Amino acid sequence: MSHHDDFEIEPVEGLPAEPPKGEEILWQGRPDWWALSIEALSLKWVAGYFILLAVWRFVSVVDLLPMGQAIGSAVPFVLLGLLVCGLLMLVAYVQARATMYTVTDARVVMRIGAALTITLNLPYTQVSNAMLDLRKRGTGTIALETMGDTRLSYLVCWPHVRPWHIKQTQPALRCIPEAEKVAALLAEAAEARISMPQIVRVAPQNAVAAE
């Protein structure tokens, strides 16, 4: 597995270099920004928090102030909540647009990061397991458990990681459309690649001179 900063122009979108001869791109896609804002940025919980604050403020003063003023005292919490939720949706949209996931018949490539763009190269031979978290809208997250002593930074890769797996970071294709279909495609390609026989070149032996 390798990763590097992506400062050069991509010859193929999402890939740092042209695929090797014979390697086939099976799927490319980005996160669904709305699903990303809900699942990775907890949009619903944040919205619920500010609604709760507004209701609490209204209830705490409704017996002390006229109805209009009581409602007005809760409005700042509503406006602040709208602002914060808008910022979260903007972050999710920018993250989604800056991301490109690529599945080939040999590896998974993740071009991630809005401010600092990096590319993760994950050959199937270094992936021990893939887990699908499917959601109601058809979007889902495919987390990849890697083998070996490779260590990835949870913060650098976030939100393109399996949530809360910090000690052993698992890179993930987050909130992608048609996740079940992509997972099946990835599993089939990985199985074919891992079961492919490895051809080892053997140095020719010196010919023995006939007596």
In-domain check, residue 77 = yes
Residue 10 confidence (pLDDT): 66
181 and 107 housed in the same domain: yes
Q: What is the tens place of the pLDDT at every residue in 163-210? A: 988 888 999 999 999 999 999 999 999 888 776 554 445 555 554 444
Give the CATH number for residue 128. Answer: 2.30.29.30
In-domain check, residue 13 = no
25 and 129 housed in the same domain: yes
How far, in Å, CA of 106 to CA of 113, rounded? Answer: 23
In-domain check, residue 119 = yes
In-domain check, residue 138 = yes
73 and 109 housed in the same domain: no
Residue 208 confidence (pLDDT): 44
- Among 36-50, 75-89, 95-109, 132-146, which stretch is predicted with the lowest mean pLDDT? 132-146
Over 80: is that where the pLDDT of 69 sits?
yes
Total tally of structural domains belonging to the chain: 2
- Which residue, 71, 95, 119, sits at the end of a domain? 95
Residue 210 confidence (pLDDT): 45
How far, in Å, CA of 187 to CA of 173, rounded? Answer: 14
In-domain check, residue 139 = yes
115 and 190 housed in the same domain: yes
Pick the more confident residue, 211 or 133.
133
27 and 105 housed in the same domain: yes
Residue 200 confidence (pLDDT): 47
Per-residue pLDDT averaged across 65-76, rounded?
89
In-domain check, residue 112 = yes
Per-residue pLDDT averaged across 47-66, rounded?
91
25 and 128 housed in the same domain: yes
Pick the more confident residue, 147 or 205.
147
Q: What is the tens place of the pLDDT at every residue in 8-50? A: 566 778 888 888 888 899 999 999 999 999 999 999 999 999 9
27 and 117 housed in the same domain: yes
82 and 125 housed in the same domain: no
Contact at 8 Å (CB) between 11 and 18? yes
Percent of residues, the chain, with pLDDT higher than 90: 53
129 and 177 housed in the same domain: yes
Residue given tokens 């993740």 in the structure block: 110
Strand order in the sheet with 107-112: 2-5, 118-123, 107-112, 100-104, 25-29
Per residue, the 3-state secondary structure of the chain, as one string, reads: CEEEECCCCCCECCECCCCCCCCCEEEEECCCHHHHHHHCCCHHHHHHHHHHHHHHHHHHHCCCCCHHHHHHHHHHHHHHHHHHHHHHHHHHHHHHHHCEEEEECCEEEEEECCCCCEEEEEEHHHEEEEEEEECCCCCEEEEEEECCCCCCCHHHHCCCECCCCCCCCCEEEEEECCHHHHHHHHHHHHHHHHCCCCCCCCCCCCCCCCC
45 and 130 housed in the same domain: no
138 and 74 housed in the same domain: no
Report the chain's mean pLDDT, rounded to a whole number: 85
- Which residue, 54, 79, 95, sits at the end of a domain? 95
Question: Residue type for 133, please?
Answer: D
**Residue 157 sits in which domain range?**
2-8+21-31+100-194
27 and 116 housed in the same domain: yes
Residue 9 confidence (pLDDT): 63
How far, in Å, CA of 35 to CA of 175, rounded? Answer: 6
